[in-house]
Structure 1
Amino acid sequence: MEMALVERLQELGLTKREAEVYLTILAKKGATVKDLLDYLDIHQPQLYNIIQSLIRKGFIRASAGRPRIYTATDIGSLIEVQKIKLDILKTTLEEELKKISLTSEEEAPYISLVRGLEGVVSGILEVINSAQVEIRAEMPYSIFQEIKPYLLGALQRGVNLYLLVYPRMGPIEEFEQYRDQLKIKTSELGNFLLVISDLSSAIYSKRRFFSVHRAPISSTEIYGYIIHEKDLLLRLLNIHNNLWVKAKEVLCWKPRPEIYPKLFIEFSMVLDELEALLRLGYLPIVSVEGRDIKEGNYITLNGAVKSVNRYGIVSNFVLENESGIFTIGGFDAELEDVEAQLVTIQKVER
């Protein structure tokens, strides 16, 4: 019997023996107890217990009369029922957990460990689903294939996506309609698995866990880290950005007046966009929300971007309005006038 099918059915809550009985009934398009005893190496009392369990779980049905003929329920219908149950469970748990989080004054840990491939994928989905403005991500193609529906869901919510996939990229036709919200690139080699939401939460895992060039690693040996420390996220992004600028473009928006306004949280991305606009002869009009570095208070500035400066470890842009000229830096800025937390390119002018 195909062990892969047995293992998949075990993931739906069956035991190994229950999966074997279900698949036998399915293959025979109906079977009696005698048929099953003749085909399977199993004792009659054990078989009766398995049959009753499969009936309770909805995997098989019994005919009226004697001898009873057991038929298999369509697997697609079973999975749909499981989805409905999981959706109800998800809604209930989210509501109850929200009540707990509102009454708890303790902060979440800056870094926490997740184990197993399922734990890592679950962490990725949690990060993606929390995004409101942008997602920065670098991942192997195998993971991209698995989480593709959730990335599309984020795009449907209006989130901007910056994605690097390695060591190759497959078909992405379903992303075409979101061209003005995304930048997808590919590279033969990646640094790690990294998904960051709004520069506030992320998941990180080692590249070697997903390498196609090395011996496969058991899914239970894979682990990753959920990270909520902004400074650490920026250090990881520095490594990622070195590869991002060299990676091959697959599907990227083109700077032009009709795609704005557009919001940016991660500062290097807005600098790239402003540089591209200035090279094209546009004058970007932006609004900046952030912290006045000298006074420490939260401010909002509106104005035109005159230039972008990048030298050494200093990166900023110059904003001009009727009140004067201001230098705008990113997280942990010290030499600039404003530490930007959110930049919106409102429009561009000639």
Structure 2
Amino acid sequence: MPMMTTAKTTFDTPLARIPTTCRGGKMLLIKVITITPGRCAGMSRAGGEDAAIALLRKMGLTKVEAQIYMYLLAEGPSTLPKIAEGLSMHRPQVYTSLRRLVSKSVVESLGGKPAVFRAVDPEVIVKMFSQEISRLMSDALEKMKSIKSRGGERSVGIWLMRSYEGALAKAESLIEKATVDMAVCGSPEFIMQVAEKLYQAEERGVNVYVLVYSPPGVEFSREKLEKLRKVRWAVSGDTLVVIDSRLGVLTQRRGVSPAAEYGLIIEEPVILDYILHDFFSRWLRSRVICDRRVRLPTKFTMHRLALLEASRLADEGVRLRARIRGRWVRSGKPMSIEGELVKPVIDLTTGLAHFIVKARGKLIKVGGPDAIVEDGAAHLIELASGGGGEDD
């Protein structure tokens, strides 16, 4: 009995050149599979076509419907029999899919015997899809925002987001929620992406501090950055947004490690305080791009940045009053004082950083949230022009 094997050849291999062989008196038959030029061209386009079909699937089309649409784009107006033959599909399957495509306004039909079908322009269907998605997103977001969790909200902890893009989107959303102050660090691309939101935050009265990092020799446009009040440049860094000392997002810059494709949502006060310490140190070491004076009156939750601004104003001869809320270090009870800001102290050698405020008939030292040696620990600092006088 003849033995059969299969040899694959390209479309331009002449059949006459394919040898036949005898083994032990038995004929070896060779079955030839030819590959047409069209199929080869299709293989070279596979990547782009796969992406197009993936998009169509996201738009609610089945795989068969997506294939039919792509066929009509490539071949132009066609009849049902021609489509079925071209895609090697059964006519009933094509008929059902065409009806659905027409009902979804993805394919147009021309009556007659036989009917003719053609693909709607891709830009039109993408626009229709975008509009529908926008409507769905708006309705869904409104509904989801109205849902109140029965378990309440957890106010502390470090949450993991297993998506680099998701973490960046979360960081961007935080910018819109800032009410007092904000520390931002990121690549030029990220800072440019959120620049408009940073401008809007400053317009709301938020004190915004931006560290943009890029390696030496790598140029980036500073025009948009210079519209902000506080921007400095550093050689390296990670993507960070901390708002009001209560919420932050941190993700390692891309390319450092393949495993670093995630972000941390930080609601733990101790960790946020450590991160802000590090941000402050980087800020002092970084090169100034723009550094405009804060507008009074103003507020801070970020203690060291408040001290930095108060020191600058004091050096310029501006007399300040301070209203500070927080806790008394020894008793742990709530603290609220107001009076003349006598001196802002930043000692980088010892690490001491505090305000000296004349209030309640004495000088009171107020440190940051982690204060130990001072009289008070500040959670919110308000600075205004004018000295003298004390609170009751």
Q: TM-score range by the shorter chain?
A: 0.7 to 0.9
Tell me the equivalent position of 2:385: 347
Do residues 306 (structure 1) and 342 (structure 2) align?
yes
Match of 1:283 in 2: 319
CA contact (8 A) 2:211 2:234 kept: yes
Q: Tell me the distance in 1 between the aligned counterparts of 2:107 and 2:53.
A: 22
Corresponding residue of 1:137: 184
TM-aligned CA distance change 1:143 to 1:297, over 3 Å: same
Post-superposition CA distance 1:168-194 (Å, at most 9, x none): 6744655666x4xx422222221x222
Residue in structure 2 matching 1:88, options 139, 145, 158 = 139
Q: Which residue of 2 aligns with 1:204?
A: 250
The number of equivalent residue pairs is 330
Structure 2: which 5+ runs fail to align? 1-44
For the structure 1 residues 40 and 343, does the alpha-carbon distance in structure 2 shift closer, same or farther, using more than 3 Å as the test?
farther
Once residues 337 and 169 of structure 2 are traced to their aligned partners in structure 1, the CA distance between those partners, rounded to angstroms, is 39
Q: Aligned AA for 2:233?
A: T
Which of these residues, 90, 112, 118, is aligned with residue 69 of structure 1? 118
Give the secondary-structure state (helix, strand or coil) at the position aligned to 2:120.
Answer: strand
Match among 369, 373, 376 for residue 331 of structure 1: 369
What is the CA–CA distance in structure 2 between the aligned matches of 1:242 and 1:11, rounded to whole Å?
A: 49
TM-score, length-normalised on structure 1? Answer: 0.78
Distance 1:34 1:224, change over 3 A: same
Question: Which AA in structure 2 matches 1:249?
Answer: V
Per-residue CA shift, 1:196-249, capped at 9, x if unaligned? 121111112223xx13xx69x49xx61121111111112122222222212222
Amino acid paired to 2:118? I
Pick one of 353, 360, 372 that aligns with 1:315: 353
> What CA RMSD, in Å, does the superposition of the two structures yield over aligned residues?
3.7
Identity %: 21
Tell me: CA distance 1:188–1:64, structure 2 relative to 1, closer, same or farther (3 Å). Answer: same
Change in Cα spacing, 1:234 to 1:173, as seen in structure 2 (3 Å) is: same
Task: Pick one of 252, 270, 291 that aligns with 1:231.
Answer: 270
Q: Which structure shows the higher helix fraction?
A: 1
Q: CA deviation at 1:5?
A: 5.8
CA distance in 2, matches of 1:36, 1:250: 65
Describe the shift of the 1:109–1:318 C-alpha distance in structure 2 as closer, same or farther (beyond 3 A).
closer
SS of equivalent to 1:68: strand
Secondary structure of the corresponding residue to residue 122 of structure 1: helix
Deviation at 1:254, TM superposition (A): 2.4
SS of 1:81's partner is: helix
Alignment of 1:170-249 (within 5 A): 170-171=220-221, 173=223, 179=228, 182-190=229-237, 192-207=238-253, 210-211=254-255, 217=258, 222-249=261-288
1:267-278 to 2 correspondences below 5 Å: 267-278=303-314
Structure 1 residues 40, 296: closer, same or farther in 2, change over 3 A? farther
Deviates more, 1:282-291 or 1:49-58: 49-58
Q: CA deviation at 1:26?
A: 6.7
Between stretches 108-117 and 273-282, larger displacement belongs to 108-117
**Structure with more relative contact order (C-alpha pairs < 8 Å, separation 6 or more):** 1
Q: Mark the CA change 1:56 to 1:172 in structure 2 (over 3 Å): closer, same or farther.
A: farther
Structure 1 residues 50 and 234: CA distance shift in structure 2, 3 A: farther
TM-score by length of 2: 0.70
Which structure 1 residue ranges, 5 or more long, are not aligned? none
* Contact kept? 2:186, 2:239, Cα under 8 Å: yes
Q: Which digits, 9 at most, give the CA deviation of each residue in 1:98-156, with x for residues without a partner?
A: x22xx325635601211022321233234334322222121223333444454445445
Displacement of 1:88: 1.8
Deviation digits for residues 49-88 of structure 1 (CA, Å, limit 9, x no counterpart): 6655655666x25245342333132534532432232122
Contact 1:201/1:227 (<8 A) preserved? yes
Which structure has the larger Rg over C-alpha atoms?
A: 2
- Indicate conservation of the 8 Å contact 1:152/1:175, yes or no: no
Q: Which moved more, 1:3-12 or 1:339-348?
A: 3-12
